[in-house]
Each structure stands twice: as C-alpha cells, then as structure tokens.
Amino acid sequence: MREITVNKFRAALKDFADQAIFDHEPLRVTRKQGQDFVIIGAEDWEQLQETVYVLQNTALMGQIKQSDVSHRTGKGYSPTQEQLDEINSL
C-alpha cells in the first residue's frame, strides 16, 4: 500500500483519488497527530464488503468447501455435451 502525508494528499487530492480509483490500489494518508486514514475507490470498497460477507457467512462457506471437495475428488456435477453446447451458444 502506498503511503503519503496528509499535506501532500491535500495538495493534490483529486490526483491521488483518481490513482486510488483507476489503479485499484489503496492509499494510506499519514498524519503527525491523530489516526491515519485510507483512500480506496468505491468499486474496490464494495468488492471488499462482498468478500467479507461471504467469509462471514458460515452456510455459504460450507457450500463452497463442499463444492471444492467434490471438484477435487471428481465427484461433482458434469454437464452433458448438449448442455455445454447450449451454455456456449449464449
């Protein structure tokens, strides 16, 4: 994560905000007194919130784990060629 001082951030706020948005890299802004803060694009924030939701949802994580096990053991669902053709034609 990149890091800058609050004075540098204040001097070029728009440029740093654009970098955080378009580069998808959060920016830590440090202050001499008080707590630091982080600038992150809204799209990246929403993705992080979705990830946190999935990780905290024990039922969903259980389904993902079961799916991974069935995939690794080759016991998962396999579509027919006709189903694959239909999917691929979309």
Q: pLDDT digits over 53-74, tens only?
A: 999 999 999 999 999 999 899 8
Note whether 44 and 22 are within 8 A (CB).
Answer: no
Domain boundaries, the chain: 1-40, 42-74
Mean pLDDT of the chain: 94
Residues with Cβ within 8 Å of 28's Cβ and at least 6 positions away in sequence, in order, are: 1, 2, 3, 4, 36, 37, 38
Fold classification of 1-40 is YefM-like fold (3.40.1620)
Q: Is the pLDDT of residue 76 over 90?
A: no
